């Protein structure tokens, strides 16, 4: 029973939130006349000491006290005696854990906001340095159109911006205090829930005491947001792995972020990126695990809910570490602009530009332009040459109005530079987006 029941091994993580909640609760009990000034002072002092002992690693957590709440209270009793017994007036471990965990998830949202912002800052700096570096933009992993590296990186800045707003939404919605719900039904004592809510930085008390002790949707929401963010990191990590590969050689990571092989001396493996790519599985697993834990649970509290913590804690650690690793890699990476350019300048990547030329200069409907360009691509492919290598006669044969002038539209730089539409890949446009991103995110 003890082995399956005890939670102190992991919920000790909540000591800070637990003690902050108890201090606010004690103040409130005093204010409404349920604790004398002396009792309240003793409790405050005792709780401060417990907090300090834990911070300094001197606190002895005991399985016999089951969880963080009873460990703290037991030590408080050792320290101050009888008044410790009054702290739990008008409170239950049910609203206590609901409070502690909510506060913890709120802190996690705040920390992640900073972690994600740091990655955005690193990306924006790299984007700034390489606003005009050309690389192949892909669809289906096939060369599609030339893009700039700055533009590519800014795509992740946007995704991460939405991740931040998801955590901010989660934080906004969870910021109501469950304290005072007591076991589930409320309490006969004349407590002041507004006061404790305010003291703990909540917007208001939760409206329904049963909801207060039974709900963990804020943790689900947190894990959903973490999973989505992890998905973004995983995609970016995969790109780092690709870009690092011998076939691409678009970027280099220093030894700080790669590992060698115990057998192949030439190896420089992007292990950190591979691990970030993998970690999203744990995040999705945490979300799934909590969701399955909660489904079908009748109101209100059931001990099942004790199992909400480990996946959530683990997910937070995983995501925070992944973000740190990505930030480190982005700051560390050096760009091989020549390799990117070489890769971009192949595979008929400017075929769309030729079609656009036919539309803009000869007034053709895009569908016809697409068809004519397709025929020229086929011709060049058969000849084993590029579009720009086709002769004037070849061009004229495809369409009488098509002259050598069109070749100026076939360079990868030109192709990128012309994409000046809002949000497009042209270096000038990217620099504008960088300035805007700094304003919005940093
Ligand atoms: N350790 C418990 C948890 O994490 C705290 C609440 C326990 N409440 C109870 N009535 N047993 O959920």
Rounded Cα distance, 110 and 87, in Å: 29
d(CA 124, CA 434): 6
Query: Which helix or strand (DSSP H or E) is residue 119 part of?
Result: helix 93-129
The angle subtended at Cα 435 by Cα 434 and Cα 437, nearest 5°, is: 60
Q: What's the pLDDT tens digit per position in 223-281? A: 999 999 999 999 999 999 999 999 999 999 999 999 888 888 788 899 999 999 999 99
> Which of 10, 16, 15, 22 lies closest to 179 in space, CA to CA?
22
> How far, in Å, is the centroid of ligand 1 from the Cα of 71?
13
What are the b/e assignments for 302-334, b being 16+ CB within 10 Å? eeebbebbbbbbbbbebbbebbebbbbbbbbbe
Residue 391 burial class via C-beta count within 10 angstroms: exposed 0-12, middle 13-18, buried 19 and up: exposed
Q: Is 300 in the pocket of ligand 1 (CB under 6 A)?
A: no
Tell how far the Cα of 72 is from the centroid of ligand 1, in angstroms.
Answer: 14
Q: Is 216 exposed, middle or buried (0-12, 13-18, 19+ CB in 10 A)?
A: buried
Pairing, β 142-148 against β 204-205: unpaired
Active site members:
140, 261
Q: Is the CB of 216 under 6 A from ligand 1?
A: no
Phi, then psi, of 164 in degrees rounded to 5: -60, -40
Residue of 21, 94, 182, 309 best suited for mutating to test ligand 1, as the one with most atoms within 8 Å of CB = 94
Instruction: Name the pTM for this structure.
Output: 0.94
Q: How far is CA 421 from CA 20, 73, 179, 359, 430, in A?
A: 52, 63, 52, 17, 10
- Summarize pLDDT for 108-153 with one digit per residue, the tens: 999 999 999 999 999 999 999 999 999 999 999 999 999 999 999 9
Pairwise CA distance, residues 8 & 10, whole Å? 5
- CA dihedral sign of residues 216, 196, 34, 88: positive
Cβ(167)–Cβ(109) under 8 Å?
Answer: yes
Residues 265 and 176: beta-carbon distance below 8 Å: no
- Model confidence at 442, pLDDT cuts 50, 70, 90, reads very high
6 alpha carbon to ligand 1 midpoint, in Å?
Answer: 10
How far apart CA 102 and CA 14 sit, in angstroms, is: 10
The whole-number average pLDDT for the span 51-75 is 98
Q: Best substitution site from 185, 303, 309, 313 to test ligand 1's pocket, by max atoms within 8 Å of Cβ?
A: 303
* 188 in Cβ contact with 108 (< 8 Å): no
7 lines ligand 1 (CB under 6 A): yes
Q: Residues 270-324: pLDDT tens digits?
A: 999 999 999 999 999 999 999 999 999 999 999 999 999 999 999 999 999 999 9
**Is there an atom of ligand 1 within 6 Å of 93 CB?**
yes
- Which residue CA neighbors atom 12 of ligand 1 most closely? 306
Give per-residue pLDDT as tens, 17-29.
999 999 999 999 9
pLDDT in tens, 4-20: 999 999 999 999 999 99
Q: Which of 178, 305, 306 to mutate to test ligand 1, by most ligand atoms within 8 A of the CB atom? A: 306
C-alpha to C-alpha distance for 332 and 314, rounded to whole angstroms: 27
Ligand 1 close to Cβ of residue 306 (< 6 A): yes
Which residue is it, tokens 């894990």? Answer: 223
């Amino acid at each position: 029973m003890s082995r399956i029941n005890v939670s102190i091994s992991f919920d000790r993580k909540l000591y800070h939130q637990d003690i902050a909640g108890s201090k606010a609760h004690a103040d409130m009990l005093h204010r409404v006349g349920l604790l004398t000034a002396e009792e309240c002072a003793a409790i405050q002092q005792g709780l401060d000491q417990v907090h300090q002992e834990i911070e300094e690693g001197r606190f002895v957590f005991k399985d016999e006290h089951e969880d963080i709440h009873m460990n703290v209270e037991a030590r408080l009793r050792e320290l101050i005696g009888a008044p410790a017994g009054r702290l739990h007036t008008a409170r239950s471990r049910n609203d206590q854990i609901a409070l502690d965990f909510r506060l913890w998830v709120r802190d996690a949202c705040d920390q992640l906001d900073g972690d994600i912002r740091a990655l955005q800052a690193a990306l924006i700096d790299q984007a700034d340095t390489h606003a005009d570096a050309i690389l192949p933009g892909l669809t289906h992993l096939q060369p599609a159109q030339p893009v700039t590296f700055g533009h590519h990186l800014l795509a992740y800045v946007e995704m991460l911006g939405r991740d931040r707003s998801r955590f901010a939404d989660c934080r906004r919605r969870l910021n109501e205090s469950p304290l005072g719900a007591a076991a589930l039904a409320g309490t006969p004592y004349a407590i002041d829930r507004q006061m404790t809510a305010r003291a703990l930085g909540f917007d208001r008390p939760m409206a329904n005491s049963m909801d207060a002790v039974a709900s963990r949707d804020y943790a689900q929401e947190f894990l959903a947001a973490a999973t989505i963010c992890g998905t973004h990191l995983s995609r970016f990590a995969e790109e780092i792995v690709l870009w690092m590969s011998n076939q691409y050689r678009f970027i280099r990571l220093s030894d700080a972020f790669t590992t060698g092989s115990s057998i192949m001396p030439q190896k420089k493996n992007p292990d950190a990126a591979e691990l970030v790519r993998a970690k999203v599985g744990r995040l999705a697993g945490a979300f799934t695990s909590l969701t399955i834990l909660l489904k079908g649970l009748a109101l209100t509290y059931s001990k099942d809910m004790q199992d909400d913590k480990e996946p959530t804690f683990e997910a937070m650690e995983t995501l925070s570490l992944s973000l740190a690793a990505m930030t480190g890699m982005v700051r560390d990476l050096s760009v091989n602009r020549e390799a990117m350019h070489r890769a971009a300048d192949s595979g008929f990547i400017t075929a769309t530009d030729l079609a656009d030329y036919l539309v803009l200069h000869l007034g053709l409907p895009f569908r016809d332009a697409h068809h004519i360009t397709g025929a020229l691509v086929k011709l060049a492919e058969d000849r084993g040459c590029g579009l720009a290598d086709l002769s004037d006669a070849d061009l004229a044969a495809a369409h009488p109005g098509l002259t050598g002038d069109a070749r100026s539209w076939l360079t990868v730089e030109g192709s990128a530079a012309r994409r000046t539409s809002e949000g497009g890949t042209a270096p000038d446009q990217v620099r504008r987006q960088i300035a805007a991103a700094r304003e919005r995110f940093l």
